[in-house]
């Protein structure tokens, strides 16, 4: 508390606690009012401007946001897998429990994976015309083994440390360095993930023994129409092939290799 005195007036400046009733909120700031006595007349003076800094959301809290279960994001991809460079673009569609991935990898045919309630489907123009195959299970790398899922699927299994914020695809992204508490064989060993306030993954960087991958969103939204999960062509059911995940040699063409 500070007092300034003179013949004609006295000013009292008070810094009130945040729960004081003598305040008003305006544009993220708290304005605290007190009075000054001058010639026996009281009048209000603004004497304190206190910035109310917003709390940084935690990793687990962000992953409970609406965007974690429903979003569409397009990513620029770059990295290497088993010594081979990977460059391209991936668009991820999520509307729990449905997932779709469109992959455009340099030098590879475009592939779309659909993980739906009635099965898993791979759609591509491998033979020159668009076709969809129903596969017994999602090929390795297309579902729980994907880079995004491995870093967001089970937050309690990760050590996540706040790493500041950055602007990505026109949104504020909250970043965390992450590391599995119990790394599985072939899983990522360390990485960085940045999430929007709704929980949408906007930036993913991961490293493993097999290589590294960086994905940065160029566009992202939490609005995902049901029509985005409509298969683009009739379906042919692919029989299971022994010892080959999903019945597809090598996993997804243009995608991560199938696990042994």
Please give the tally of structural domains in the chain: 2
Q: Is residue 95 located within the same domain as residue 27?
A: no
Q: Is residue 33 located within the same domain as residue 82?
A: no
Q: Is residue 186 located within the same domain as residue 211?
A: yes
Across 95-117, average pLDDT? 90
> Is residue 251 assigned to a domain?
no
Give CA–CA dist 32/138, Å, rounded.
59
Dihedral of CA atoms 232, 258, 240, 126 in degrees, nearest 10, equals 40
> Is residue 140 assigned to a domain?
yes
> Is residue 181 assigned to a domain?
yes
Q: Is residue 135 located within the same domain as residue 191?
A: yes
Give CA–CA dist 259/256, Å, rounded.
9
Q: Residue 42 sits in which domain range?
A: 2-51
User: Are the beta carbons of 258 and 248 closer than 8 angstroms?
Assistant: yes
Per-residue pLDDT of 38-84, as tens digits, reads: 444 444 444 444 455 557 789 989 988 888 889 999 999 999 888 88
Q: Is residue 28 located within the same domain as residue 122?
A: no
Q: Is residue 106 located within the same domain as residue 192?
A: yes
Buried b (16+ CB within 10 A) or exposed e, 94-126: bbeebbbbbbbbeebebbbbbbeeeebbbbbeb
Q: Is residue 37 located within the same domain as residue 112?
A: no
Q: In a 10 Å sphere around its CB, with 0-12 CB exposed, 13-18 middle and 19+ buried, how is residue 49 labelled?
A: exposed
Q: Mean pLDDT over all residues of the chain?
A: 74
Instruction: Report the CATH number that the domain containing residue 70 is assigned in CATH.
Output: 2.50.20.10
User: Are the beta carbons of 172 and 217 closer than 8 angstroms?
Assistant: no
> Is residue 136 assigned to a domain?
yes
Q: Which residues pair with 49 in a beta bridge?
A: 31
Question: Residue 176: what pLDDT?
Answer: 95
Q: Is residue 114 located within the same domain as residue 77?
A: yes
Residue 186's pLDDT band (cuts 50, 70, 90): low
Per-residue pLDDT of 115-164, as tens digits, reads: 999 999 999 876 667 789 998 765 544 433 367 777 777 788 888 999 99
Residue with more model confidence, 243 or 191: 191
> Is residue 231 assigned to a domain?
yes
> Is residue 206 assigned to a domain?
yes
Q: Is residue 224 located within the same domain as residue 111?
A: yes
Instruction: Tell whether omega for the bond before 97 is within 30 degrees of 0, i.e. cis.
Output: yes
Per-residue pLDDT of 220-256, as tens digits, reads: 999 999 999 999 999 987 665 555 444 443 344 334 3
Q: Which residues pair with 258 in a beta bridge?
A: none
Q: Is residue 141 located within the same domain as residue 182?
A: yes
Q: Which residues pair with 94 in a beta bridge?
A: 71, 99
Q: Is residue 39 located within the same domain as residue 66?
A: no
206: which 2 tokens? 């991961």
Q: Is residue 122 located within the same domain as residue 164?
A: yes
**In terms of pTM, does the model score above 0.75?**
no
């Amino acid at each position: 508390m500070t007092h300034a005195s003179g013949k004609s007036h006295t000013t009292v400046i008070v810094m009130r606690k945040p729960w004081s009733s003598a305040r008003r909120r305006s544009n993220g700031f708290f304005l605290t009012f007190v009075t000054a006595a001058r010639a026996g007349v009281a009048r209000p003076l603004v004497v304190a401007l206190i910035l109310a800094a917003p709390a940084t959301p935690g990793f687990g809290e962000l992953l409970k946001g609406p965007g974690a279960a429903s979003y569409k994001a397009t990513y620029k991809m770059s990295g290497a897998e088993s010594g081979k460079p990977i460059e391209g673009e991936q668009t991820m569609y999520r509307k729990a429990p449905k997932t779709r991935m469109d992959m455009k990898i340099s030098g590879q045919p475009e592939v779309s994976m659909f993980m739906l309630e009635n099965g898993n489907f791979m759609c591509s123009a491998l033979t020159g015309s668009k076709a969809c195959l129903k596969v017994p299970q999602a090929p390795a790398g297309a579902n729980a083994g994907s880079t995004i899922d491995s870093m967001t699927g089970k937050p309690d299994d990760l050590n996540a440390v706040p790493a500041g914020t950055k602007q990505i695809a026109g949104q504020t992204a909250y970043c965390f360095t992450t590391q599995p508490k119990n790394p599985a064989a072939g899983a990522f060993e360390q990485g960085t993930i940045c999430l929007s306030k709704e929980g949408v993954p906007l930036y993913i960087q991961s490293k493993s023994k097999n290589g590294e991958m960086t994905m940065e969103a160029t566009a992202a939204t939490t609005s995902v129409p049901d029509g985005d999960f409509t298969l683009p062509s009739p379906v042919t059911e692919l029989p299971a092939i022994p010892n080959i995940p999903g019945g597809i040699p090598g996993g997804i063409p243009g995608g991560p290799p199938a696990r042994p």
